[in-house]
Structure 1
Amino acid sequence: MADVLKIQGKYPEAIVEYNKYHDANPSDPRGSEGARSSVQAQEWIDEPSRFIVAPEVQLNSKQMEFSATFVDKRGNVVYFVSTREGSTGKGTDGIIGENFSDIFESKRDRNGKWSTPVPIGGDVNTPTNEGPLCVDAKGRTMYFTRCESPEKNKNQPCKIYVATKKGNNWTDVEELVLAPDSITVGHPAISADEKFLYFTATNLEGGVGGRDIWVATYDKKAKTWGNVANVNSVNTDKDEMFPFIHDNGTLYFTSDGHPGMGGWDIFKAAPGKTESEFGEVENMKYPVNSPADDFAMIWESGHERGFLSSNREGSIGSDDIFSFVIPPIIYVLQGTITDMDTRKPIPNAKIQLVGSDGSSAELITDATGTYIFGDKGDAERYINGNTNYTLTVSAANYLNAVGKETTVGNVVSTTFIKDFALQPIYPDKDIEFPEVQYDLAKHTLREESKDSLNYLYQTLIENPTIVIELSAHTDSRGGEKPNQILSQNRAQSCVDYLISKGIPEERMVARGYGKNRLLISDAEIGKMKSVEEKEAAHQKNRRTVFKVLRSDYVPTGLEETQVQPKGSNDAEGDEDDQ
């Protein structure tokens, strides 16, 4: 009952029945394993993988279609097995209750439409069953399954045969001996380098279960296949079949022995050290798999698409061919550049994008201050996966801004929003930054003040062409001369710290203004009612700020190169005002 519910996709009900069975038969692992796999199957349906799976209606009929194979490098010719009308065999196969199967061909036109399938030409198709096949990279040699016995209602002993293409016909059909005569073999799959042939054999000595996946090695000198080995890293005590070797060496296969969603499921295993060793077996999950039978997955070379076979909901025959595709993960990085003070958009700002993978791109904002990387489809504008990005934004009369974004760990299509508000540069206007604190009447930097100066350090790094005046101010208390000396020393302490971090001395001018440029006058402070208000006002007057003097700095020792000015005055400052 539990197995039936699972195959029907009724996983919550199946879990209840599996748990009942486990309670009644605690020593039988089928109860707990069935419940566990049903929970997992429901999770896969609730959170499907990126695959898009759909019936390939142009290839399917009301009869069986399964085990598709790409024949040419461009993926425009496909062979598959079918019991549809037009097959060579006459009458009905007593095992499956349909026509005897043949190998059919279809071609894809420029519009992506598949032609009406027809039997392949030559001597491959016979009155008995021809089944799963593969073709070498050149499309000249075919390995296919044939089940010779037409005897009704009996399992047909199957063998693998080889055929050669001459013109449009497949001829010179010969049996490929891989096992004793009494053993059924089939489902051939050749590796990309054509050194190894994977296949399925039933009850072959040395096997693990009923049907196992095996591999044979090609001997170039003898021009024969031999050295047959069991791929025991993927085989179970049940059935493993329909192998396919991806160009990257990954083995895809079908099994009812590994935990799955119901009937047959499709699995994969990464290549190991030898042709018969593979890594951990992974279920391909939903929607590649379903509660029904899913099998014979193949990939088109060089693409993230292919075919699989299934009798799932949506099939018009007992087995149908389904196409699958992994849609690309598309990342878009976009944002708006605005003025920090006015909040108005900045047109013609330049955004430079540099990726940790070595990629780079550059855009200019439009009239609305907007930029978009990734929307046009141009290769250089794509945002790549598993990459860290640095964005540098620059515009005339503004300080540069730098931001970070990453696609590392992001496995879904995402639009990243990265807005920037740029600090405008005004002639002789101070720019505030995090407060630099000093002990009373001292100019030595507190440890926490270094964090504030690190902000200014980063600004200088991000704006390598600017020269600044770094100015310190005191409050109105105390004498004018002591305050002037104190403020000059404080400004110099800031400059010295930045020099110690590697900023060239010639990029900074230390200037102390004492109590000459109060933000809040003594008269205003005198009107304040509380001591706290007055002290806060004095604190606001005690400040360290900077302004941009020039934007054309070139490091000493380098050849003069033309640098785009940011638009500030080249004057060192108005000495009369200082």
Structure 2
Amino acid sequence: MQQSLRFHAPTSANSWGKLALAFCGFLFTLTTQAQSVEFSKDRFGNDREGLKAAQRELKEGDEWYDMDPSRYELALPHYLAAQKFNPDNAQLNLKIGDCYLHSGFKPKALAYLQKAYKLNPDVDPTIHYLLGRGLHLNARWPEAIKEYKAAQPNASSKDKAAWAADIQKKIKECENGQQFLRKPARVFIDNAGAGVNSPYPDYGPVISADESVILFTSRRATSTGGQKDPETGGFFEDIYQSTRLPDGQWSQAMNLSAPINTDGHDATVGLAPDGQRLLVYVEDNGGDLHESELHGTEWRKPQTLGTRINSRGHESSAAYSPDGRTLYFVTDKEGGLGGRDIYRIQPEGRGPAQNLGPNINTPYGEEGVYLHPDGKTMYFSSEGHNSMGGYDIFKSVYEKGQWSKPENLGWPINTPDDDVFFVISASGRHGYYSSFREDGLGSKDIYQITFLGPEKAPVLNQEDQLLASRAQPVKETLLAAAVPIATAQVTILKGTVTDDMTHQPVEATIEVVDNVLNQTIAAFRANAQSGRYLVSLPSGVNYGIVVRQDGYLFHSENFDVPAGAAYAEVVKDIALKKADLGVKVVLNNIFFDFNKATLRPESTAELERLQKLLAEAPTLHLEISGHTDNVGKADYNQDLSQRRAKAVVDYLTQHGVAATRLTAAGYGDTQPVAPNTTDAGRQLNRRTEFKITGK
């Protein structure tokens, strides 16, 4: 994969071939065999103008190539122009191969390196290593191993031990590649299409949890300022956004413009699951992380994440936890275990960032961290572990207080080249990353990976009716096929928040509460313009969802997501009500023991919210009512509902609410809100609610 400015592979033996050319350049003239054709008048005297033009191209190419650091991308076009005139010069073919090895099109290097070797087997002391690299990058594993074994470091090299270690690592990578190739992952890899991709480099995709929005980095001609980077010759990086259309395609990507994009480099890093907060890379202080919030349709100016995260080093990648309270990020600051390491930190806390340790970080580089919305599955890229070459994408799960051994996602997701900046949808069905492939639109493109799961027909989509509210049924889109790559133990709750009377969007706060622990897990805001919200709910928790906005009564929902529950999307549109006479509100997080009027501890958070409402509105009078389904005798149901309503009133009066402001009423099964003919309907009818009887 082509590298953006925020991703630089560490110095290694990959660049030694080029250095050896500089030290041993005299060999090209002393040992050139007759097969290698020189750029001389003796050979091209009948075309002196063509020779002069080719020599000019060689000279310009060498100027870029010999810079420190080398400008391979700028040297390559000149070398290719000269090679058209004379395709049979060993040294030129070697340099073209070296340039391709340092480009996004690394597999193209092999043909030129092989030709250089054929024209002159002594073209360079590192030729066998370079041939190994070319074969390796083309997944020709056994041939690559043979060349690596034939590669010998220069006897006088000060880095002989490092060279030998690098060769052994490359051989191990080829052996890993052979193993993965025998059992490839069952996936489709498809170009994301012309809505997202362009003839220019497009990379670094980030998505909302439900795949409705994708943001990415591009170096296209419509970049802000329209200027080119003098170091690479390409346009400066900008961030673009596309949305999913009803037919599943992506809309035409739009430049986010100022204040997100500037005249310099601006790149995507991470996106919150709800798509309301964006992490961006800004090229200052060596490369720092910033955060922007979406207000309506406008992204606000990115703000630095501060010195607890940004350092004098290079911070290149980051990801939010589902609750937004933890940030995972990549940095090469001092004190790490290798080139770049993955750390985590609580931005709102005071403690230092914690290195994830040797289970994750290796003596080599780590990059492209992404945390799945289930809150426990992390994806990242690494040059270590059992990589098949360059950076490979790995998966690790946090269980029992530690990260599991990283699992390579395998071939063809991973390749011998660098595979970095992978993200995956909450469902675990689709992943996104960028790659150079034959079906690309001109340069590096963004691709969608579809995980097929076991060898059986996957259940792609089914509609079901699930009780997420005791007020009304909620339509659920359930994606439940077994997927081996992602556990997908998460529920996505999304919808819009509106005013009950005007139906206009409301920028409400959505709180997620652990009912058992009576703790607020996270708080989000609905979009100011659309009222849309999205909340990621990992499995294994009984959640209370509370929607608040000044001037409105709170609205609550209950979601009990069992441990191991399959991925589900629940669409719930919420209409907030104002405190008008006669308004009724269902208390969805009031729980009683079975067939009793004993309040369960999980009810505490909801009761405290009701208590706070009455404290903030001292003139408010409420009727607390209990309701049942029609199972059992009517008089028993009426008595049970009365006792349950009284239990709520008793709690409130015991916590300082005047008894004169409250009335308990049991209605049994006389006021159903749904038919009692189904389990779902009966559950809706078993409820506690309040009605405003005085203001």
Give the TM-score of the pair, scaled to structure 2. 0.43
Deviates more, 1:296-305 or 1:2-11: 2-11
Aligned mate of 1:97, from 223, 233, 239: 233
- Work out the number of aligned pairs and report it: 323
Q: Is 1:40 aligned with 2:176?
A: yes
Residues 22 and 30 of structure 1 are in contact (CA less than 8 Å); yes or no, is this contact kept in structure 2? no
Q: Secondary structure at the match of 1:280?
A: coil
Counterpart residue number, 1:361: none
Matches within 5 A, 1:222-237: 226-232=351-357, 233-237=359-363
Residues 132 and 186 of structure 1 are in contact (CA less than 8 Å); yes or no, is this contact kept in structure 2? no
Counterpart residue number, 2:320: 190
Residues 289 and 310 of structure 2 are in contact (CA less than 8 Å); yes or no, is this contact kept in structure 1? no
Please tell me the residue identity of whatever aligns with 2:326.
F
Counterpart residue number, 2:126: none
Q: Secondary structure at the match of 1:294?
A: coil
Q: Is 1:283 aligned with 2:392?
A: no
Deviation at 1:159, TM superposition (A): 0.8
Q: Is 1:240 aligned with 2:366?
A: yes
Q: Secondary structure at the match of 1:227?
A: coil
Q: In structure 2, how many angstroms separate the alpha carbons of the residues matched to 1:317 and 1:213?
A: 33
Q: In structure 2, how many angstroms separate the alpha carbons of the residues matched to 1:120 and 1:175?
A: 18
Render the CA deviation track for 1:165-195: whole Å, top value 9, x for unaligned: 1111101421111346522213121111222
Residues 429 and 483 of structure 2 are in contact (CA less than 8 Å); yes or no, is this contact kept in structure 1? no
Render the CA deviation track for 1:497-552: whole Å, top value 9, x for unaligned: xxxxxxxxxxxxxxxxxxxxxxxxxxxxxxxxxxxxxxxxxxxxxxxxxxxxxxxx
Relative to 1, partners in 2 of residues 1:49 and 1:166: Cα closer, same or farther, differing over 3 Å? same
Render the CA deviation track for 1:359-380: whole Å, top value 9, x for unaligned: xxxxxxxxxxxxxxxxxxxx9x
Please tell me the residue identity of whatever aligns with 1:67.
G
Matches within 5 A, 1:131-150: 131-148=267-284
Q: Is 1:116 aligned with 2:246?
A: no
Residues 243 and 296 of structure 1 are in contact (CA less than 8 Å); yes or no, is this contact kept in structure 2? yes
Counterpart residue number, 1:250: 377
Q: Is 1:201 aligned with 2:331?
A: yes
Q: In structure 2, how many angstroms separate the alpha carbons of the residues matched to 1:162 and 1:6?
A: 39
Render the CA deviation track for 1:42-82: whole Å, top value 9, x for unaligned: 232243111221222322112111111113x4312111111
Residues 207 and 275 of structure 2 are in contact (CA less than 8 Å); yes or no, is this contact kept in structure 1? no
Aligned mate of 1:68, from 176, 198, 205: 205
Residues 22 and 31 of structure 1 are in contact (CA less than 8 Å); yes or no, is this contact kept in structure 2? no
Q: Secondary structure at the match of 1:6?
A: helix
Residues 100 and 127 of structure 1 are in contact (CA less than 8 Å); yes or no, is this contact kept in structure 2? yes
Q: In structure 2, how many angstroms separate the alpha carbons of the residues matched to 1:193 and 1:268?
A: 20
Give the TM-score of the pair, scaled to structure 1. 0.51
Counterpart residue number, 2:665: none
Residues 273 and 373 of structure 2 are in contact (CA less than 8 Å); yes or no, is this contact kept in structure 1? no
Q: Secondary structure at the match of 2:234?
A: coil
Deviation at 1:331, TM superposition (A): 4.4
Identity rate, percent: 27
Residues 213 and 275 of structure 2 are in contact (CA less than 8 Å); yes or no, is this contact kept in structure 1? no
Deviates more, 1:162-171 or 1:302-311: 302-311
Q: Is 1:306 aligned with 2:431?
A: yes
Q: In structure 2, how many angstroms separate the alpha carbons of the residues matched to 1:99 and 1:50?
A: 36
Residues 7 and 263 of structure 1 are in contact (CA less than 8 Å); yes or no, is this contact kept in structure 2? no
Q: Secondary structure at the match of 1:37?
A: helix
Q: Secondary structure at the match of 2:171?
A: helix
Q: In structure 1, how many angstroms separate the alpha carbons of the residues matched to 2:214 and 2:222?
A: 18
Matches within 5 A, 1:159-174: 159-174=288-303
Q: RMSD between aligned alpha carbons?
A: 3.0
The gaps in structure 1 that reach 5 residues or longer are 149-155, 333-378, 386-578
Render the CA deviation track for 1:189-229: whole Å, top value 9, x for unaligned: 11112221111112x1221122221111143xxxx575311
Q: In structure 1, how many angstroms separate the alpha carbons of the residues matched to 2:384 and 2:456?
A: 39
Q: In structure 2, how many angstroms separate the alpha carbons of the residues matched to 1:100 and 1:331?
A: 46
Q: In structure 2, how many angstroms separate the alpha carbons of the residues matched to 1:114 and 1:60?
A: 10
Matches within 5 A, 1:308-347: 308-329=433-454, 331=456
Render the CA deviation track for 1:135-169: whole Å, top value 9, x for unaligned: 22333222211113xxxxxxx71111111111111
Residues 144 and 174 of structure 2 are in contact (CA less than 8 Å); yes or no, is this contact kept in structure 1? yes
Q: Secondary structure at the match of 2:420?
A: strand
Q: Secondary structure at the match of 1:296?
A: coil
Counterpart residue number, 2:287: 158
Aligned mate of 1:176, from 305, 313, 316: 305
Q: In structure 1, how many angstroms separate the alpha carbons of the residues matched to 2:181 and 2:482?
A: 29
Render the CA deviation track for 1:407-457: whole Å, top value 9, x for unaligned: xxxxxxxxxxxxxxxxxxxxxxxxxxxxxxxxxxxxxxxxxxxxxxxxxxx
Relative to 1, partners in 2 of residues 1:384 and 1:241: Cα closer, same or farther, differing over 3 Å? closer
Flag the structure with larger Rg: 1
Relative to 1, partners in 2 of residues 1:272 and 1:21: Cα closer, same or farther, differing over 3 Å? farther
Q: In structure 2, how many angstroms separate the alpha carbons of the residues matched to 1:225 and 1:316?
A: 46
Counterpart residue number, 1:294: 419
Relative to 1, partners in 2 of residues 1:119 and 1:63: Cα closer, same or farther, differing over 3 Å? same
Counterpart residue number, 1:266: 393
Relative to 1, partners in 2 of residues 1:119 and 1:238: Cα closer, same or farther, differing over 3 Å? same
Deviation at 1:117, TM superposition (A): 0.8
Residues 65 and 317 of structure 1 are in contact (CA less than 8 Å); yes or no, is this contact kept in structure 2? no
Q: In structure 2, how many angstroms separate the alpha carbons of the residues matched to 1:296 and 1:315?
A: 18
Aligned mate of 1:14, from 144, 157, 165: 144
Please tell me the residue identity of whatever aligns with 1:297.
F
Relative to 1, partners in 2 of residues 1:292 and 1:165: Cα closer, same or farther, differing over 3 Å? same
Residues 81 and 103 of structure 1 are in contact (CA less than 8 Å); yes or no, is this contact kept in structure 2? yes
Q: Secondary structure at the match of 2:147?
A: helix
Counterpart residue number, 2:473: none
Please tell me the residue identity of whatever aligns with 1:68.
P
Q: In structure 1, how many angstroms separate the alpha carbons of the residues matched to 2:234 and 2:435?
A: 17
Q: In structure 1, how many angstroms separate the alpha carbons of the residues matched to 2:408 and 2:452?
A: 19
Deviates more, 1:43-52 or 1:279-288: 43-52
Deviation at 1:330, TM superposition (A): 6.0
Relative to 1, partners in 2 of residues 1:225 and 1:79: Cα closer, same or farther, differing over 3 Å? farther
Please tell me the residue identity of whatever aligns with 2:305.
L
Residues 121 and 168 of structure 1 are in contact (CA less than 8 Å); yes or no, is this contact kept in structure 2? no
Q: In structure 2, how many angstroms separate the alpha carbons of the residues matched to 1:121 and 1:384?
A: 38
Please tell me the residue identity of whatever aligns with 2:206.
T
Aligned mate of 2:266, from 114, 119, 130: 130
Matches within 5 A, 1:552-563: none
Aligned mate of 2:214, from 78, 93, 98: 78
Q: In structure 2, how many angstroms separate the alpha carbons of the residues matched to 1:32 and 1:299?
A: 33
Deviation at 1:247, TM superposition (A): 2.5
Matches within 5 A, 1:49-60: 49-58=185-194, 59-60=196-197
Q: In structure 1, how many angstroms separate the alpha carbons of the residues matched to 2:483 and 2:225?
A: 52
Residues 216 and 225 of structure 1 are in contact (CA less than 8 Å); yes or no, is this contact kept in structure 2? no
Q: In structure 2, how many angstroms separate the alpha carbons of the residues matched to 1:384 and 1:88?
A: 40
Relative to 1, partners in 2 of residues 1:325 and 1:384: Cα closer, same or farther, differing over 3 Å? closer
Please tell me the residue identity of whatever aligns with 1:14.
A
Deviation at 1:313, TM superposition (A): 4.6
Q: In structure 2, how many angstroms separate the alpha carbons of the residues matched to 1:160 and 1:117?
A: 23
Q: In structure 1, how many angstroms separate the alpha carbons of the residues matched to 2:408 and 2:233?
A: 31
Counterpart residue number, 2:23: none
Relative to 1, partners in 2 of residues 1:238 and 1:40: Cα closer, same or farther, differing over 3 Å? closer
Residues 132 and 144 of structure 1 are in contact (CA less than 8 Å); yes or no, is this contact kept in structure 2? yes
